[in-house]
Amino acid sequence: MRKSACFFRGVKLHYIIMRTLFVENLPDPGCGVDLERREAEHLFRVLRAAPGERFRLLDGRGGRAVAEVLPGKALRVESRERLPEPEKKLHLFFAQPRRNRLDALLPACAELGVWELHPCICARSVAEGAPNDRWRLQLLEGCKQSGNPFLPRVAEPEPLLPCVKRAADSGMGLFYGSVAAAEFPAAPAAGGIGWVVGPEGGFTPEEEAALRDSGVRPLNLGEFVLRLETAAVCGLAVLRRFMLTLLLAVAAVFLCGGCGRDAANHPLVRKGDYCRDIGEAKAAQVFYRRALKKYPDSPVLFLKLASLSDESLDDPLAAAWYYSEFLRVASDSPERETVEAGRRAALERLAGRKTGAAAASAEEGLRQRILLLEAENRRLNRALDDVKRRGGTSRGTPAEPGGANVRR
């Protein structure tokens, strides 16, 4: 684990870049970790891990943990979780390339979240062979690089057309590269989505006709001819993005009545989610607030900031404010009652557990206080900008109500 720093409008943020190790069986929190020889050598000889550093552990089956290095070159699990399998799975059906190109393709498949790889034998295949330990090693490296908790499965090689037909019969939506255009389905197929990539010489006319007869749709990736590994990665990225967009849209509609859908997948929000997951609540708060400037009426962001302030930062003032803003922009959300209860609890903590009219009065007083502080913050920011334009310097940055020093 190493710590890096970045600056956001005068505020120095420290965020943790956590390296990843693979462990076949994740122990319970508080227990020691038995690393494979290769992983142990990498950890202590290459990375020179020191006591107190933390590393992420993956088991390739959805298990994820954080472990701390102890004196004596030992590891102890601090926390562990089990992630659910993805609802819609991504499959790759491909003709095997030669070894050096296969070594580039396999890690990319793991990084893109491929669930299963299906090596296929085509009429123009240039390489064949059963999956081996080298395949697994390359896939593991891709998982460790990306943080993907699911090691892609690898099926045994088989002829192309029977393999694809069986997948199509199972309900999987299948696509292959073609110069012809293709329309995406209205929603991901029940069996997930598969991407079919042929050998360097392409499919024969008979194979392409059979693919179409099996329900495989053409997908145009551009006007130029792509290498096998390039076509595989590009097609997987396009189809993965398509699946994620639909799933995020459905989730946003369910949680927030259709508001703030674009915000949920913004890079700033993902950075905030990551910082929160590793316990860097202050950094998460700054990333969420930066995203809120881009999406000022996003209920997703108001709810994230409210729960972060309430649960991780012990800031009931900010929590009550963000809960109120969520209720303002998402008044018809199915989460309304839960959010209202959280807002009342934050106000009671702040107002010394006042209830009824006293709590309402306290809330109004807090709202006025926040408005005054925001106005003062804007005034100070304008003054700071004037100083900078005149070539001067200023120490410090005005603080937001109840949070880190961040300019609005």
Domain count for the chain, please give it.
3
CATH number at residue 226: 3.40.1280.10
Q: Residue 298 above 60 pLDDT?
A: yes
| Residue 171: pLDDT over 90 | no
Domain identity same for 278 and 379: yes
Instruction: Residue 58: name the closest of 139, 134, 129, 116 by CA.
Output: 139
Q: Is 406 a domain residue?
A: no
288 found inside a domain: yes
pLDDT of residue 318: 86
DSSP label of 62: S
How would you label 160-191 residue by residue, b for 16+ Cβ within 10 Å and e otherwise? bbebbbebbeeebbbbbbbeeeeebeeebbeb
Tell me the pLDDT tens digit for each residue of 80-102: 999 888 888 999 999 999 888 89
Residue 13 has pLDDT above 50, yes or no: no
Share of the chain above pLDDT 70, in %: 78
CATH of the domain at 9: 2.40.240.20
Average pLDDT over residues 115-120: 95
Mean pLDDT value across residues 297-318: 86
pLDDT digits (tens, 9 = 90+) for 26-54: 999 999 998 888 888 888 888 888 999 99
Domain of 272, CATH number, reads 1.25.40.10
One domain for residues 41 and 146: no
- Clarify whether residues 44 and 193 are in a common domain: no
Q: Are residues 360 and 378 in the same domain?
A: yes
Residue 310, domain member (yes or no)? yes
* pLDDT-above-90 percentage for the chain: 25
Say yes or no to pLDDT of 393 above 60: no
Asked if pLDDT for residue 398 goes beyond 60, the answer is no
Question: pLDDT (tens digit, 9 = 90+) per residue, 210-268?
Answer: 999 988 988 888 778 888 888 899 988 888 877 665 444 444 444 444 444 457 778 88
What is the residue whose two structure tokens read 């009931």?
A: 316
Last residue of a domain, one of 82, 105, 134: 82
- Whether residues 99 and 28 fall in one domain: no
Summarised one tens digit per residue, pLDDT across range 180-222 is: 655 554 444 556 899 999 998 889 999 999 999 988 988 888 7
**How far is the CA of 280 from the CAs of 17, 56, 162, 274, in angstroms?**
11, 15, 50, 9
**H, E, C per residue of 355-400:** CHHHHHHHHHHHHHHHHHHHHHHHHHHHHHHHHHHCCCCCCCCCCC
Identify whether residues 94 and 78 lie together within a single domain: no
* SS3 call for 305: helix
The pLDDT tens digits for 319-369 are 888 888 888 888 887 778 888 888 888 887 776 644 456 556 666 666 666
Is 128 within the bounds of a domain? yes
Q: Would you say residue 403 lies in a domain?
A: no
Confidence (pLDDT) at 364: 66
Range of the domain at 33: 2-82
DSSP output for 140-192: HHHHHHHT-SBPPEEPPPEEHHHHHHHHHHTT-EEEEE-SS--PPPSS--TT-
- Residues 241 and 101 both lie in one domain: yes
